[in-house]
Homo-oligomer: A and B are copies of this chain.
């Protein structure tokens, strides 16, 4: 929580009269947190940070009123989706307004295999609405049942589906974004095509997203499978073969080393003691082909239809950063890394990293397409000792040609693989947020054009 409420909060509340607001401190504090606590380093830095008030606009008009008032009064605004980010993306560093975007969840249209909708829509609700069209989102994070469309675009990178479509950043995965600027007279800017990348993974620093457009995928009937292997290397090898099989329709291939599956709650009985598993989600029409490819290389221990509906945990909630979560529930002494392996040496490099840190690193990958090539990203679980040791492990990865996006930092720059802000995003921020009021502190290379009074 910021030491003192922002001096202009009173004036702001008056200026946005009629827009739903929560001022109750414990609620505001609770809503100001996300999943930064995965990282012991971020946990120490961000614990206690809070907005002064939570504002919940019901439509774009109300967003404009809040943006105008904040711009005039110099009050920071941090947009919030479902606050499931892992780097404190939605944590206000300097108090002010936490802007709850959940109210903006209209679907404007579905046509030609694409959709336009509000940013506050929960991703599983969007898929439920798309189902009658035979369509679904191309990709989603493993937090699909909580996360919002806008939070994914502004704070996420890829997920289930990226084995087919690559990450959000691949050209073509976002068609348009509409943003509201933070100025005394806010403007609405429609970013189409490439330009929409200006809001992608910008942590809400480059405008308040009020609508998004993206292309969709066919909503096949999907089947969730667990396959057990004697070793992580075997799970990786088969996962790689399946990833390369373009005739097999799939959206998830996650090899996970033992003992991680020992923490898999409901599906623990399907994870044999001591075995690595591959979690796979395959279109029903491709299951036989998947099993034929598998042959006797591994043993299928679970096969059931995928559903996002309540009552059963979809297997994707054991993959991506949920793998880490399942372990953290039992052992707060672990944390994780974010790795991208070179496509021409995936299996070798994964094995090399596992061998380098046999006691500290628990292998966990997701096969994805990246730049048109099949490779693996990884969120290995790390037994945490000190920040220095964590740095050593990350440096060893980079030295071996494995790219790291550090998940233990909260600025855009430090979290990117290239350690800098996208030039496009930095330039665009000048246009939409001259005073630097949007999620201040997250794009640290940004120097406000007109310093706030």
Partner of A372, one of B192, B193, B217, B246: B246
A289: Cβ under 8 A from any B Cβ: yes
Are the C-beta atoms of B246 and A164 separated by less than 8 Å? Answer: yes
| Stretch in A83-91, A165-173, A230-238 touching the partner | A165-173
Nearest residue (CB) in B for A286 is: B172
A283: Cβ under 8 A from any B Cβ: yes
Chain A, interface size category, equals 35 or more
Which residues of chain A in 223-261 are interfacial with respect to chain B, using CB atoms and an 8 Å cutoff? 243-249
Partner of A248, one of B134, B171, B283, B291: B171
Contact pattern, A 149-186, Cβ under 8 Å of B = 1, otherwise 0: 00000000000000011100011110100000000000
Nearest residue (CB) in B for A372 is: B244
How many copies altogether? 2
Closest CB in chain B relative to A253 CB, distance in Å: 12
A352: Cβ under 8 A from any B Cβ: no
Partner of A247, one of B134, B165, B221, B243: B165
Are the C-beta atoms of B245 and A172 separated by less than 8 Å? Answer: yes
Given the known inter-chain contacts A193-B292, A194-B292, A293-B171, please indicate yes or no for A113 contacting B285, CB distance below 8 A.
yes
A437: Cβ under 8 A from any B Cβ: no
Partner of A215, one of B244, B285, B291: B285
Are the C-beta atoms of B114 and A285 separated by less than 8 Å? Answer: yes
Cα distance A51–B393 when bound, in Å?
72
Given the known inter-chain contacts A288-B193, A289-B171, A293-B171, please indicate yes or no for A372 contacting B243, CB distance below 8 A.
yes
A444: Cβ under 8 A from any B Cβ: no
Cα distance A344–B344 when bound, in Å?
10
Nearest residue (CB) in B for A241 is: B372
Are the C-beta atoms of B283 and A171 separated by less than 8 Å? Answer: no
Cα distance A170–B249 when bound, in Å?
12
Contacts of A249 in B (CB 8 A): 113, 172, 215
Closest CB in chain B relative to A43 CB, distance in Å: 35
A373: Cβ under 8 A from any B Cβ: yes
Nearest residue (CB) in B for A194 is: B292
Closest CB in chain B relative to A128 CB, distance in Å: 18
Are the C-beta atoms of B285 and A112 separated by less than 8 Å? Answer: yes
Contacts of A65 in B (CB 8 A): none
